[in-house]
Structures are given as structure tokens and as C-alpha cells.
Amino acid sequence: MSIAAKPTTYGQYTFRSQLEARWAFFFDMLGIRYRYEPKLFCLHSALYYRPDFWLIDHHCFVEVKGEKPEQREKMRLLAQKVRVNVYTFFGDVGIPDSRYCRGAFVDYGDDYYYVLNRASDPVRIRYPLVRPGQLPPREHPHLLNAYGRWGQDYGWCECQNCGMVVIATSNPTIHWQCACPEPLSAPHVMDSPRLQAAYRAANQSHFTPVISQPTLAVEVKAS
């Protein structure tokens, strides 16, 4: 579903599109604190970027796109510059679903490698970054550099133990963000009743479009 990019007022902000306003409504429904367009970043001498949302408690940026982006140079450069994850949500507000071209990507901003434990129950573990020119430790030969790369199939998940709402992948082995003592073993779902209610409310909400005032033509008579 395509949402026209019309300036829209919701809460204390005037958003550049109704899609951004709907995501803001979704955040408010779940108690997710945010700032809208908090800062303009200079990525290099001729490239500037102002990300859509800064999620205060999740410590990450969120960019909103109506369609699946073909390239994300600005998001990748921002992640590298400020060393935090930059998530790009595309499509309408809802559970990630490839049939409707709806989902999210992430550009990693942290200095960590991820290793896949090849046991019968695989998990992903975070390790400090191996600097250029260094070799991975012998006990972890399968280290993968996540810094500067991007992942996909991300979305909002609710932990069924602690109730915390986090951005995570549908892969059940990657969940570090929730408040549980052992988040890897905590059940996270993308279609909990709470999340579905927030999605429905955001899509059914009506916002106030910003109406530009017409310019009055003034006739100047020659004296």
C-alpha cells in the first residue's frame, strides 16, 4: 500500500508524510520514546543526511520509506559514523511480509563480530571487533564481520516473558535486546495481540494534513 508523502501534523511534530505519522502513532501506542529528525549529519564533504527517528530507549535510528529501497548509502555511512544501528522500515505499518513488500533492513553500527555456534542448537554470540590485519582467534574461526554490512527480515517483536518490545529478526537465534536474564532463550513473536492492535490503530488513525496557504497576487499599478 502506497501512502502519499503529504506533510502531516501529529502530536508535537509536523511529519513529512502520513507514513511517518503512522509510525509515530505506533511508537506512542507501545510507549516507545522517540525524537523526530533530531539532527542533520554531515557524512562527507558533499553528503548530508537527517534520519527520521531516534529511538531513545532502543538507542538506534529508524528511517521510513514507502517502498523497498534500492540502495542505502546514507544509512550505511551514518551507521559507520555514529556507531549505532540504522533500521530502514519500508512499506506500510505492519508485520514484515514479503508478499506486501513490507519489512525492514538494518545497517550495523557496532564494532562486533558474530559467530555461529555450529552445535545442534545454534546461537549467535557477540565478540569485540577484530581489527584490520588481525586474524580471528583460533577457537572462533567462523567469525563474520557485521560492521558495515546489512541484514534483513527485521521487525518489531514482543518478548513473551518480560513484555519488552524490541527490533529483532525473525531468526529465533538473534535476540539480545530484551530485559530477560537470558534473552537468547526468551520467546519473541512478531504477531502478538499487543503488536497487532498497535498496527491496526496506526493504520486506522486519521491525521491533520498541513494545508499550505495560497499566495495572494498583488497588482502594482504604475504611477
Q: Across the 223 residues of the chain, what is the mean pLDDT of every consecutive 10-residue run? A: 73 93 96 94 90 90 88 84 86 85 76 43 42 45 41 79 81 56 71 95 84 53 52
Q: Of 35, 31, 24, whose CA–CA distance to 202 is shortest? A: 24
Residue 24 lies in a domain: yes
Same domain as 45, residue 28: yes
Residue 215 lies in a domain: no
Same domain as 106, residue 66: yes
Same domain as 169, residue 125: no
Same domain as 138, residue 154: no
Number of domains in the chain: 2
Q: What pTM value is reported for the model? A: 0.75
Per-residue exposure over 76-85, b if at least 16 CB sit within 10 Å of its own CB, e if not? bbbbeeeebb
- Which residue carries 559514523 as its cell? 81
**CA distance linking residue 72 with residue 87, whole number of Å:** 10
Residue 223 lies in a domain: no
Residue 85 lies in a domain: yes
Residue that finishes a domain, picked among 120, 144, 168: 144
DSSP-derived secondary structure letter, 97: B
Residue 173 lies in a domain: yes
Range of the domain at 140: 111-144
- Strand order, beta sheet including 124-128: 124-128, 112-116, 144-145
pLDDT of amino acid 89: 92
C-alpha distances (whole Å) from 44 to each of 49, 71, 78, 111, 131 are 10, 17, 10, 21, 23
Same domain as 122, residue 38: no
Same domain as 125, residue 173: no
Q: Under 8 Å CB-to-CB from 103, ≥6 apart: which residues?
A: 68, 89, 90, 91, 96, 97, 152, 153, 154, 155
Same domain as 130, residue 200: no
Same domain as 24, residue 129: no
Same domain as 19, residue 122: no
pLDDT of amino acid 29: 95
Residue that finishes a domain, picked among 94, 125, 144: 144
* Max intra-chain CA distance, the chain: 91
Residue 219 lies in a domain: no
Give the β-pairing of 103-107 and 150-152.
antiparallel
